[in-house]
Chain A
Amino acid sequence: MSALRLISNRTSQQALSNSDYTWEYEYYEYGPVSFEGLKAHKYSIVIGFWVGLAVFVIFMFFVLTLLTKTGAPHQDNAEPSEKRFRMNSFVADFGRPLESERVFSRQIAEESRSLFHFCINEVEHLDKAKQSQKGPSLESHIHFQEVPGSSGMFEEDLNCLTKFNIPNFVNTEQNSSLGEDDLLISEPPIILESKSVMQSSHRILD
């Protein structure tokens, strides 16, 4: 009787696509399933699965948030930072007037923080003072030419970093000038390293 009912389901009910769907997967045709004597709710696997998935995602979120809670900032060498800061104030004056580029550069700049701080670490010992004192035109180029990879790649990838919201980097407000200026300082040495970088950055400028 139940089998007959199933078969009639398959042929008569046009509205349900499921009944016609069963033929494609043989395992659906194993026959009727008894739903009697179920101890738990019949949708328990569905509910359990989704609850488990939600719990896992929330757990992952909390773990990531915990990872990002930075502890007390450790004391780095004061010297390089001071030097860097002097450069900052110098460079800041050059950087500010370039409004249109700033909008663009800010995105790239903000997004590329961590990379450049790699670079900062690497070039700390170089003489940044000389290079950062070049004219404003070079500064505008410097905005873009630091990118070791291609800027387009950067945008995309650093969008990812942006959303990591490294606190001092990814401020979308105008007042987070410190990071940007850091950026400018670290850039010149990298410019010297690859011409292809400049080419790609010029492409971005267009």
Chain B
Amino acid sequence: ENISDFSLNVTDCTQVVVPEEVFFTVAAAGILENLLVLIAVIRNKNLHLPMYFFICSLAVSDMLGSLYKTLENIFIILCKMGYLTRRGDFEKKLDDAMDSMFILSLLGSIFSLLAIAADRYITIFYALRYHNIMTLRRALVILAIIWTFCAGSSIAIALFSYEAATVIPFTILFPLMMFFILCLYVHMFLLARSHAKKIASLPTSTVHQRTNMKGAITLTIFLGVFLCCWAPFVLHILLARFCPHNPYCACYMSIFHVNGTLIMCNAIIDPMIFAFRSRELRSTFKKMFCCAR
């Protein structure tokens, strides 16, 4: 190959390496935690409710994300050790399959978060009819539709990932969903605030008004965690598609493994901010571990 006069600086952007022990520990923790959530929901009949099914869906997509990263790393190790060739057809197909797993996980996460937000929204604004609107069967149907759509899109995107046209909608979907979820929660928030006003307006109310810091903090955590964990990777995909030669883009792409680790951290954090908030689920966990002893 004839290479033109490029001279790499000694200070070029080398890949930032995440130690494999850290990587696998984070991945294993994410998978285990989400598996526990799934088991707890399955075992406890009280948790067979639409809300918990949506949380399970989130747990499944988080598990897929961690699994994807683990498999990818194992794959790389196998390549290093020489068991797999680099350009074989089988490896390429395996690579495509893993890509589609990743996209499935991302889309699944987004739609699960959307479902959770919509469920909470219906709970608040259609409180008395919630039971009729969100039956168990409908929740399962919604989940089936979501996952079928995600599976189809992920396979399509993985197959056609080499065209720019697939990357753009994928990247646009991300902020759109975030914005929509934010709107749902803000609306719920405003309602909570108006109720707070009404309570405060009662003549005998002794509790003084104070700023709802906790609500703002919670909502910021919900969306901030999702953004901070997924956005770096999505940006990476964008840059890799559109400016791979640019040195700035290349430097960004050198932190690829850190971005991947962030996705797995998301898998660890999500159960904490969604599933473990429920007292019922926590007590199920305690029972499970007490029985195990």
Contact = CB atoms under 8 A, between A and B. Distances in A.
Interface of A: 1-3, 5-6, 14-21, 23-28, 30-36, 38, 40, 42-46, 49, 53, 56-57, 60-61, 64-65, 67-71, 73-76, 78, 81-82, 84-85, 88, 107, 113-115, 117-119, 122, 148-150, 152-157, 159-171, 176, 178-179, 182, 190, 193-194, 196-197, 203-204
Nearest to A193: B128
B130 A159 contact: no
Nearest to A170: B214
Given A57-B227, A107-B279, A20 B201 contact: no
Contact of B207 (A33, A67, A168): A168
A46 B254 CA distance: 10
Contacts of A40: 248
B41 to A, nearest CB: 10
B46 A53 contact: no
A165 B213 contact: yes
B222 to A, nearest CB: 8
B220 A148 contact: no
Interface residues of B, number: 104
Contact of A156 (B12, B45, B51, B220): B51
Given A45-B249, A164-B214, A78 B14 contact: no
Given A117-B195, A153-B50, A166-B195, A30 B201 contact: no
A164 B189 CA distance: 7
A169 B191 CA distance: 13
Interface in B11-35: 11-15, 17, 20
Contacts of B274: 156
Interface string B231-255: 1100100011100111111111111
Given A67-B193, A155-B279, A178-B206, A33 B201 contact: no
A98 to B, nearest CB: 18
Interface in B202-225: 202-220, 223-224
Given A20-B76, A57-B220, A35 B247 contact: yes
A117 B198 contact: yes
18 contacts: A1-B7, A2-B7, A17-B15, A17-B77, A17-B257, A24-B95, A31-B245, A42-B13, A42-B248, A49-B235, A57-B220, A119-B128, A153-B50, A159-B278, A166-B212, A167-B196, A167-B200, A178-B202
B182 to A, nearest CB: 7
B128 A190 contact: yes
A68 B212 contact: yes
Interface stretch (B107-115, B118-126, B147-155, B263-271): B118-126
Nearest to B201: A73
Contacts of A69: 211
Given A27-B240, A85-B203, A178-B202, A60 B220 contact: yes
A70 B193 contact: yes
B256 interface: yes
B8 A35 contact: yes
A100 to B, nearest CB: 14
Contacts of A78: 203
Contacts of A31: 3, 6, 245
Contacts of B206: 178
Contacts of A166: 192-193, 195-196, 199, 212, 215
Contacts of A176: 207
Contact of B247 (A2, A34, A71, A153): A34
B183 interface: no
B126 to A, nearest CB: 9
A67 B189 contact: yes
A178 to B, nearest CB: 6
Contacts of A122: 128
Given A152-B49, A163-B214, A164-B192, A2 B3 contact: yes
A76 B201 contact: yes
Nearest to A120: B198
Contacts of B73: 17
B202 A16 contact: no
Contact of A30 (B87, B130, B219, B244): B244
B86 interface: yes
B80 interface: yes
Contacts of A64: 186, 189, 215-216, 219-220
A43 B13 contact: yes
Nearest to B132: A194
B201 A74 contact: yes
